[in-house]
Amino acid sequence: MRVQADREVCIGAGMCVLTLPEVFDQDEDDGRVVLRTPEPAPALAQRAREAVALCPSRALSAAP
């Protein structure tokens, strides 16, 4: 799986960080998403898809 995050679209809501802190973090300055690992381990794939679905600004995407 490969995850992408568009920081221009992110509104810093933090849902992704709450859902999967192993993969997502927030910038200390502007609160926008920071991708910790763009290729999560298979065991994290389901929660990564949940994080993509929960993002209110549709800043996240995931490909198999």
Q: Which chain residues interact with ligand SF4 by CB under 6 A?
A: 5, 10-16, 24, 26, 33, 55-57, 59-60
Beta strands in the chain (DSSP E): 2-5, 24-26, 33-35, 60-63
Least Cβ distance, residue 26 to ligand SF4 (angstroms) = 6
Exposed/middle/buried for residue 45 (C-beta within 10 Å: 0-12, 13-18, 19+): middle
35/45 with CB nearer ligand SF4: 35
Q: Tell me how far apart the alpha carbons of residues 5 and 8 are, in angstroms, rounded to a whole number.
A: 9
Least Cβ distance, residue 9 to ligand SF4 (angstroms) = 7
Least Cβ distance, residue 14 to ligand SF4 (angstroms) = 5
